[in-house]
Amino acid sequence: MNEYCDYLNTAVSAARIAGRYQHSRFASSHNIEMKGDKDLVTEVDKESERLIVEHLLSCFPLHNIIAEEGKYLQSGSPFRWIIDPVDGTTNYAHGFPWFCSSIGLEQNGDLVVGVIYNPVYDELFTATKGGGAHLNGRRISVSRNTPLQNSLLGTGFPYDCATDPANNFDNFITFQKRARGIRRAGAAALDLASVAAGRLDGFWELKLKAWDVAAGVLLVREAGGVVTTFDGSPYDVFNDRIVASNGLIHDEMIALLGSGS
C-alpha cells in the first residue's frame, strides 16, 4: 500500500464534499465579488474552501494550509495542503460546466498527493508520489503524440492581460501556427489533468498560483509527463511560468517559448 493513501483518501473525501455543494449551487445565481478587473470570487468559492479546509484539518489538525481565498496560520509541520476550492470560477459563475476543486499536498516541499475533481462530469483525478496517476480509479498516462504539429495544446491568459504586456498573446500565436490546435477552457488544474490523461499533449501558461497547479503537476509527473519552467529548468509550484507535456514534444515547446516569436 502506498504510504500516502491516508492523505489521498482524506483529500478525495474533501473534494467530493465540496463537489456536491458546488453541483447543488451550479444553476443558482451567485454573489460575485471582484478581486481585480476580471478576477472574481463567489460565495461558492468561499464555502467550498471552508468545507475542504475543515475536513482536512479534522483529520490532520497540525498540517499547514495554503488556499486561494483565505489566510491560515502556519505551524512547523512538514506537511502543507495547497488548495484551490474552485478552479474555473469565471466558468462556474457563467454556468459553463468546466471547473474543479484542486487539492495538493507537499511533504517538506515535495508534492506527494494530488486530487482534482470536476463534479459536473464526476471525474476524479488522483495521484500519489510513486503511485501513479488515476482517473476514477483507472490508471492514466500521457499521450504518445509527436511532433508538435500533430499535438493538441492547452493554455490560458492572465487576468491582467489587457494591461500587462506579459499576457501570453505572443506565445498563443506562435503555438497556433505550429500545433494542430489549442484549447483555452479556463481551468488550469483541469488542463494539467488533461495532459496527464492524454487528452492534451501539452500545456503552458504564466502567472499561475501554487493552488492552480499543485495537484496537476503531480498528476502529470506520475502519468509519465514532464513539467518545467519556460526555459526548461526544474519547476516548483511557486514559479509563475509552467510548461507541462507528454515529454515527446517538450523540447519543441521550450524552443518556441524561448524564441519570442
Where are the extended beta strands (E) located within 74-200? 79-87, 100-107, 110-118, 123-128, 132-135, 138-140, 152-154, 181-183
List, by residue range, all CATH 3.40.190.80 domains of the chain.
148-259
**What is the arithmetic mean of pLDDT over 23-51?**
75
Asked if 145 and 246 count as a contact pair (C-beta separation under 8 A), the reply is yes
Burial of 258 (0-12, 13-18, 19+ CB in 10 A): exposed
Residue type at position 174 = T
Read off the C-alpha cell for 170: 505572443
List, by residue range, all CATH 3.30.540.10 domains of the chain.
5-140
Arch. (CATH architecture) of 5-140? 2-Layer Sandwich (3.30)
What is the overall mean pLDDT for the chain?
Answer: 91
**What is the arithmetic mean of pLDDT over 243-251?**
98
**74-108 pLDDT per residue, tens:** 888 999 999 999 999 999 988 999 999 999 999 99
- DSSP 8-state class, residue 198: T
Residue 25 is predicted with a pLDDT of 87
Read off the C-alpha cell for 67: 488556499
Residue 1 is predicted with a pLDDT of 56
Closest CA to 123 of 102, 154, 145: 102
Q: How far apart are CA 190 and CA 87, in angstroms?
A: 8
Residue 159 vs residue 109, higher pLDDT: 109
Angle between helices 250-259 and 169-178 (to 10 degrees): 130
Residue 124 vs residue 70, higher pLDDT: 124
Domain 148-259, CATH number (from 3.40.50.300, 3.40.50.720, 3.40.640.10, 3.40.190.80): 3.40.190.80
**What is the arithmetic mean of pLDDT over 128-147?**
98
The pairing of beta strand 64-67 with beta strand 79-87: parallel
Read off the C-alpha cell for 103: 487539492
pLDDT at 261 over 50: no
pTM comes to 0.93
**What is the arithmetic mean of pLDDT over 192-215?**
97
Would you place residue 214 in the very low, low, confident or very high pLDDT band (cuts 50, 70, 90)? very high
Percent share of the chain, pLDDT over 90 = 78
Residue 66 is predicted with a pLDDT of 96
Would you place residue 35 in the very low, low, confident or very high pLDDT band (cuts 50, 70, 90)? low
pLDDT at 2 over 50: yes
Q: How far apart are CA 108 and CA 114, in angstroms?
A: 15
Would you place residue 259 in the very low, low, confident or very high pLDDT band (cuts 50, 70, 90)? low
pLDDT at 260 over 70: no
